[in-house]
Structure 1
């Protein structure tokens, strides 16, 4: 290997890294105290929450580092130790309609502890008077009740591990009012902190812990629901890794890549906001009393737009989200669709919704993320039920008519289902003569039903299926006729190839 790239990222080698495109750690970062205990070493935490904390430290705002707990037995922590817990984050994509790239050496992590091998040291973190925050991302499975003794070395489940830490802290500081923590789970579940606290309460009872401790948990700790959103693709390919090393002159086994966009919405009061001063470091972080508006925007304007444009893009010949979004006519469809969704959310701040829509279009156009439409189409019908039907009904409630772009997206979805083929017990979608596995548990009844109806009655066949939708969608005034109208246009050739654009007037 080239002598330049033989430099491996660490505290000692930092002075030798001279690449002008790399943002170096803040001076004296080693002197910053640990203020955060983090359960999880995954790329989402390192690419989002840890990035925010590192960014705040650079601005002299938060001035605290992170002790990370590796909760699972899979994988190793060797790379963290060898690199003194430094790692590089590359943020690449489109922001404010401009292609952007930023490379940062993140120095937010102080040390990494293995729960399996160093549990006593994990508990000692609870003795730190400067500790203020607990962050977790243990996947959705991690937020489950396992009735177990918290005196195990270590407890098996994340909630029991957290309870052991809290109990040790309570005993260390004798239940003082100022020894409580702000606890922010980032697992992708609605009301994640509410769920976590409920499990903690049940485990307190199971372990027969004293009433004073439970009172301290309830009165002096803040369990904050949160919502995180950022695509962190993780470690790049071997070729991209080599290009990075040749360009920047050092090796990094922990290098990860993300998009520029980030959202970290945290539910909390003024006290929580004061403790989480890193909120000031990035416009994507917000601490507010109710984060539901951000959940709705993500569900409707991001996820819903993905879902409603998926079939149209796939049938038109686009394989990836970014290439479709760069097509002028498809981009017009996306903008019209999002405007229609916003119109069905009249109580949402218009500027907030507009800014979010712009960020979604930027994210869709990101050339560094090759997101296949067929991947988005998996479990398509469930996504329609959860993401689209509520906004469709909301639009009717406000405007009492069939929404144009939502109707077009629904028509394309019906046509897409009619193209799904069966091979044995499995189903597949055909794209450029390639079979793509298709899984949609709720669509089977619809796919089978379409074989019994002619092209002119497909909309009624699909929309009247109360067993799928939970209601008869043909009762929405004019909706079935509007869907059928666009279906007829699609089947008569108005859905053209990529090179010819889209005509769904």
Structure 2
């Protein structure tokens, strides 16, 4: 039995499922979404569906399939229904929920149904545009927006907005709220900038450009939710669109506009949607506590024989290292008048729950990819700020750097995927561990800083590297973990 509206009726009464209200299928189309991917279906579409069930947003999503790869057959066969299986830990407790999502009304293929997509621009109830076209989707390409269809996502969006402007005769109330979720900084601002460039290239009239600039809201946003494969899950029916998401979810949208807040009324249904005049706080917390902790731990955990994040959190010493790293060194370095200590503690707690998720096999070796550049971007600012504030060298961060150096030596059991892999290999072939530390930390071309100028850092990393070599990563980690006290 395949999931569809016809088979849905036989599922009502199934206590293992959260099913959509029948009235949801009659709601008007309010959202145009560029992208069919699992992140959009697991986050924005999930928030919209939840709000619809509560009678808050009352609108459905028209999805645009922009790429030529794949088809819309699975969506057509299932009447655009799909199951979201939420799995993870929240507040220390396992959570497993299955929700049939009815937020999507149609999936249209840009290559063959472009006129139907443009017709959505004439819908007076259409209010929101969402996108996730990957980071390379938000790029400026000089092209005619009247092509059927334009190639790039920005040109497609501009064609849609131009059709809307013409149909409603420049009505200022018919502008859209546009929220890209692509993982680039200031994604909304960048998208708007590209559209204005395309206006010039296409010689569109000034009145339209003014309407675009003043009547539509381009919001920067940040999404954070792991959407792994769901192949191991089984249901009482067949669902080719089933997805699994972790419990944690965040969609931070940057706005101070009351109009935008009213349009995005689905934010009232879930605390995971945050409307804020400044979302950089959320980006900083994620970058330092989640990504930074991942990066500092990956080499150490892998070398200690722990293949996955889940396995690391089930091993007492590694779990103590990760928690100590966050609570004792990262949080003291990043909290200030913008990031409160209590907010950082709560975020760290959520990150630890995410790391413990028994349903996700996140491999440390994958996290080690481009290890050096990740350390520079995610960790170096924390190291410098910690030293600036305390005049001390952070021991657990130092251990993370020592493990990085040992990992980058490489061996026959794993491959190193890093732009500096050749340089590190040469260092280990030619020099002693002490010299490897000195040459690495002093390499300003790598770090943008001479890290040997941090008093005591080179010495501590050297001691720890030699201990990792002499005792073995697992044994040395046990010794370090015994000295960590989590308050």
Q: After TM superposition, list the pairs within 5 Å mapping 1:24-423 onto structure 2.
A: 24-234=19-229, 236-237=230-231, 240-241=232-233, 244-245=234-235, 249-271=236-258, 272-339=260-327, 340-347=329-336, 348-418=339-409, 420-421=410-411
CA distance in 2, matches of 1:283, 1:16: 32
Cα deviation for residue 89 of structure 1 reads 0.5
Deviations 1:47-94 (A, max 9, x none): 111001101111211111101111011111011111111100001111
Is 2:18–2:100's contact at 8 Å kept on the other side of the alignment?
yes
Cα deviation for residue 261 of structure 1 reads 0.9
The alignment status of 1:10 with 2:4, answered yes or no, reads: yes
Secondary structure of the 2:58 match is: coil
Cα deviation for residue 444 of structure 1 reads 2.4
Q: Which position in structure 2 is the counterpart of 1:4? A: none
Is 1:450–1:461's contact at 8 Å kept on the other side of the alignment?
no
Is 2:408–2:416's contact at 8 Å kept on the other side of the alignment?
no
Cα deviation for residue 10 of structure 1 reads 1.1
The alignment status of 1:453 with 2:431, answered yes or no, reads: yes
CA distance in 1, matches of 2:340, 2:474: 37
Cα deviation for residue 497 of structure 1 reads 5.7
Q: Which position in structure 2 is the counterpart of 1:477? A: 455
CA distance in 1, matches of 2:226, 2:284: 18
Q: TM-score, normalised by structure 2?
A: 0.95
CA distance in 2, matches of 1:296, 1:73: 36
Q: TM-score, normalised by structure 1?
A: 0.92
Deviations 1:194-222 (A, max 9, x none): 11111101100000000000001111110
CA distance in 2, matches of 1:194, 1:400: 38
Secondary structure of the 1:100 match is: strand
Cα deviation for residue 279 of structure 1 reads 1.1
Is 1:494–1:503's contact at 8 Å kept on the other side of the alignment?
no
Which of 400, 418, 426 in structure 2 is aligned with 1:440? 418
Q: Which moved more, 1:482-491 or 1:372-381?
A: 482-491
Cα deviation for residue 502 of structure 1 reads 5.3
Cα deviation for residue 494 of structure 1 reads 5.7
Size of the aligned set, in residue pairs, is 477
Is 2:335–2:344's contact at 8 Å kept on the other side of the alignment?
no
Is 2:34–2:131's contact at 8 Å kept on the other side of the alignment?
yes
Deviations 1:404-436 (A, max 9, x none): 211111111112222x14xxxxxxxx5xxxx33
CA distance in 2, matches of 1:260, 1:501: 31
Q: List 4+ stretches of structure 1 deviating above 6 A.
A: none
Is 2:371–2:418's contact at 8 Å kept on the other side of the alignment?
yes
CA distance in 2, matches of 1:200, 1:289: 23
Deviations 1:244-284 (A, max 9, x none): 23xxx211111111111111011111322222111111111
CA distance in 2, matches of 1:441, 1:253: 38
Deviations 1:464-503 (A, max 9, x none): 11221122110112111111122222222163369x9454
Q: Which moved more, 1:448-457 or 1:309-318?
A: 448-457
Cα deviation for residue 450 of structure 1 reads 2.5
Is 1:381–1:443's contact at 8 Å kept on the other side of the alignment?
no
CA distance in 2, matches of 1:502, 1:65: 56
Q: Which position in structure 2 is the counterpart of 1:425? A: none
Deviations 1:10-48 (A, max 9, x none): 111111114311100023011111111000001110011
CA RMSD of aligned residues (A): 1.5
Secondary structure of the 2:85 match is: strand
Is 1:226–1:264's contact at 8 Å kept on the other side of the alignment?
yes
CA distance in 2, matches of 1:350, 1:176: 46
Structure 1 residues without counterparts, runs of 5 or longer: 1-6, 422-429
